[in-house]
């Protein structure tokens, strides 16, 4: 592979990485906005927090 081809490949990989990163950031932004406008009608108390902790623990150990 010539130096020019190698440089083009590196630039292409770099650009692709930036595009993927931007798409991920856009998806995260959209998820945050969806959550911000959603209706949350549950009381956040000790039971709620414990249920969330259990869900997270199970997610990481039940796979």
For the segment 6-61, what is each residue's pLDDT rounded down to a tens digit?
889 999 999 999 999 999 999 999 999 998 888 878 888 999 999 999 999 887 77
Which residue, among 19, 16, 38, 15, has the nearest Cα to 27 in the 3D structure?
19
Q: How many domains does the chain have?
A: 1
Token look-up 């959209």 returns: 30
User: Residue 22: its pLDDT value, please?
Assistant: 92
Where does the pLDDT of residue 63 fall: very low under 50, low under 70, confident under 90, or very high at 90 and above? low
Which domain range does residue 57 map to? 3-61
d(CA 18, CA 14): 6
Please tell me the distance from the alpha carbon of residue 45 to that of residue 25, in angstroms, as a whole number.
Answer: 31
């Amino acid at each position: 592979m010539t130096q020019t081809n190698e440089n083009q490949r590196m630039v292409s990989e770099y650009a692709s990485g930036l595009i993927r990163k931007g798409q991920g950031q856009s998806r995260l932004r959209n998820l945050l906005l969806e959550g911000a406008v959603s209706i949350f009608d549950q009381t956040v108390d000790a039971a709620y927090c414990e249920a969330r902790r259990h869900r997270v623990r199970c997610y990481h150990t039940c796979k």
